[in-house]
Chains A and B, each alone.
Chain A
Amino acid sequence: MSIKLSLGPVLYYWSKEKLLAFYDEVISSPVDIVYVGETICSRRRLMRANDWLELAQRLSDAGKEVVLSTMALIEAGSELSAARRICEQKDFLVEANDMGAVQMRSGNGQFVAGHSVNIYNHHTLDLLAGLGMKRWVMPVELSRDALKDILEQKTQPVETEVFAFGRLPLAYSARCYTARAHDLPKDDCEFRCLDYEDGLLLKTREDEKFLTINGIQTQSSSVFNMIADLDNVKDMGVDVLRISPQSRHTPQVIQYFSDAVKGECSAADAQHSINKLIPTDACDGYWYGKPGMDLTTGDAA
């Protein structure tokens, strides 16, 4: 079985026009699985529930495996209801991004456990597999060594997906830092996230790029890319590599990943080409058991 490519949910807040144009390009790209839905902030409502379902259907009709993603941080009753509607539908697979969604989907259909569901060992993995987990996305801070151990020791048949490209999702909060940067209350944020298609850069006091603010989510400013280790990934039994959408060059990134997976270019060449498209620094430390911000392989962007 060759490795499949997935496109994670768009983590930023884009205009509906931009978002739909983005997915038009995705349809013709060599990505196999597409995760859709708003996973960060329930105030982002340019796409309503039905719009997401229509998009999902369009992608599905185009031959993509479509997965509906739930919010990572579910606080309000209305957010729980929205997740419940996703978990109770039968047309599409569901990516559960917290234990609440796992619970609502258990015994109700298969699910993918997203990277914000804490699966750090094979015991937890086997347990969730028994509840209907078809696939899991490894938490991004785990290393390939930990993954290898988990895959060797798991007893349940479950597919494994690895976050392979994009700004790293690092934290979620009740507080909206984009609104805070504009001195606005979260409940009256003027939807400033729309102004930052790849999030808002946070630098240290000596002007080093450090983090990316994306509403209530904090991401790395560096873009994670682990394509260089593709050969190892294949040997370990990873089934899916995830590309996390960025506002620019995502179709090209998908193409480079696809070429590397098919053996049409070397992993090192793919890494080099992709890193040239990254508007900030590249990183891959987590994969090698180091600080996440480190860059271990290849050359800097």
Chain B
Amino acid sequence: MELVCPAGNLPSLKAAVDNGADAVYIGFQDDTNARHFAGLNFNRKKAEQALQYARQHGTRVFVAINTYPQPAGWKRWMASVDMAAELGVDALILADAGVMAYAARQWPELRLHLSVQGSATNPEAIRFYHEQFNIRRAVIPRVLSIKQVEQVVESSPVPIEVFGFGSLCVMVEGRCLLSSYVTGQSPNTFGACSPGSAVRWVETDKGRESRLNNVLIDRYEDDEHAGYPTICKGRFNVNNTTSYAIEEPTSLNTMALLPELQRMGIGAIKIEGRQRSPAYVTQVTRVWRAAIDASARNPEAFKPQDEWTQELQKVSEGAQTTFGAYERSWQ
């Protein structure tokens, strides 16, 4: 089971490599990837340095080109595919079928992975991308129970990569338009959920407010930790009750499920967080490397060590973690 770690810049990539990632995934500096944030990601020169460093240490580099081009922007996606191929990266992580067709035609030797943004939640959807573009791996959305994951693994024509840790999308990835409903920009169209330009913090008598294009996402008392205003993690009023109607600010952590994931033949574990700091990448990579190795050595006796859990909780959104959809009762 491979450990795939995020890097939003060169220091993060080095941190992932140094702490035991089998592969690191990166994106370029535009809307062709789903972490399109100012000051983040790689230009050609930085990507070359990243590849060189990773190669020296035997780590592979994947490039995420996992948003959906519209005709007006199509050339940027082609250029990103070409640049990644010319750099000699180990795999592309793609979502759009048109982009996949281009990559498969133009660079037939290049290994393609289906991004979580491809939104394939069942073996037939994965089969589509395999038959059409010969994808070699699929990253599946964070919406399946552990039993359903196993069913997908059993019938999928390619190895499966699942999310192990990080921020939790509760909506099926690749088909969530909440952000563009409010801001005009979504992960699919722009590579960002709740883009920073639409976020506003307002101090009021009632507390600190987070607003997204002026829509009130949440309001915080002095002693409350204020989270980034992604719509699905806000507090809203339903049937006269104010609560986290969709999901609490929480991180996914599936470490306790590692032996189970290993037994069912999961190909790789993905860590979320290209937008996070090198310190986050260091900590999370180190802990997950140790955990995967321990689970591989002795799955029957595996249990997340207290020290690992504490380390991960320090860097979790809302400082709490969940199994998410893997656990049926969460649903």
Contact = CB atoms under 8 A, between A and B. Distances in A.
A121 B120 contact: no
26 contacts: A74-B121, A75-B148, A98-B122, A100-B123, A101-B124, A103-B124, A106-B128, A118-B188, A122-B71, A124-B96, A124-B98, A127-B101, A146-B70, A149-B70, A171-B175, A172-B171, A174-B142, A181-B238, A181-B239, A200-B239, A204-B237, A205-B218, A205-B219, A218-B246, A286-B181, A293-B215
Nearest to A292: B181
Nearest to A290: B184
A291 B182 contact: yes
Contacts of B218: 205
Contacts of B328: 186-187
B174 interface: yes
A171 B238 contact: no
Interface in B115-149: 118-125, 127-129, 131-132, 142-145, 148
B175 A120 contact: no
A173 B171 contact: yes
Given A118-B96, A172-B175, A123 B151 contact: no
Interface in B142-163: 142-145, 148, 151
In the A-B complex, the 4 residue pairs with the smallest Cβ-Cβ separation, listed nearest first, are: A123-B98, A149-B71, A100-B124, A292-B181
A208 B170 contact: no
Contacts of A77: 148, 151
Given A121-B96, A171-B177, A75 B143 contact: yes
B82 to A, nearest CB: 15
B97 interface: yes
Contacts of A173: 143, 170-172, 246
Contact of B97 (A124, A176, A290): A124
A19 interface: no
Contacts of A171: 171-172, 175-178, 232
B180 A291 contact: yes
A72 B141 CA distance: 14
B56 interface: no
Nearest to A79: B122
Contacts of A140: 177
Interface string A277-294: 000000001100111110
A177 B246 contact: yes
Contacts of A210: 215, 236
Given A141-B186, A170-B176, A176 B120 contact: no
B120 A100 contact: yes
A75 B245 contact: no
Interface in A83-117: 83-84, 98-104, 106, 116
Among B118, B143, B180, the most chain A Cβ lie within 10 Å of the Cβ of B180
Contacts of A123: 74, 97-99, 101-102
Given A123-B98, A172-B143, 9 more contacts: A75-B148, A99-B125, A103-B127, A146-B71, A168-B177, A174-B330, A175-B330, A204-B215, A290-B184
A51 B166 CA distance: 44
B177 A100 contact: no
Contacts of A177: 245-246
Contacts of B186: 141
Given A123-B101, A171-B172, A213-B245, A99 B180 contact: no
Interface in B69-122: 69-72, 74, 95-99, 101-102, 118-122
Contacts, number: 221
Interface of B: 68-72, 74, 95-99, 101-102, 118-125, 127-129, 131-132, 142-145, 148, 151, 170-172, 174-178, 180-184, 186, 188-189, 213, 215-219, 232, 235-239, 241-242, 245-247, 325, 328-331
A157 interface: no
Nearest to A120: B68
A172 B121 CA distance: 12
A228 interface: no
Contacts of A100: 120-125, 128
A289 B184 contact: yes
Contact of A170 (B120, B177, B247): B177
A149 B72 contact: yes
Contacts of B74: 121, 123
B331 A174 contact: yes
B145 A127 contact: no
A62 B215 CA distance: 46
A67 to B, nearest CB: 19
Given A80-B123, A118-B175, A205 B216 contact: yes
Contacts of B238: 181, 200-203, 213
Contacts of A220: 181
Nearest to A150: B71
Contacts of B215: 204, 208, 210, 293
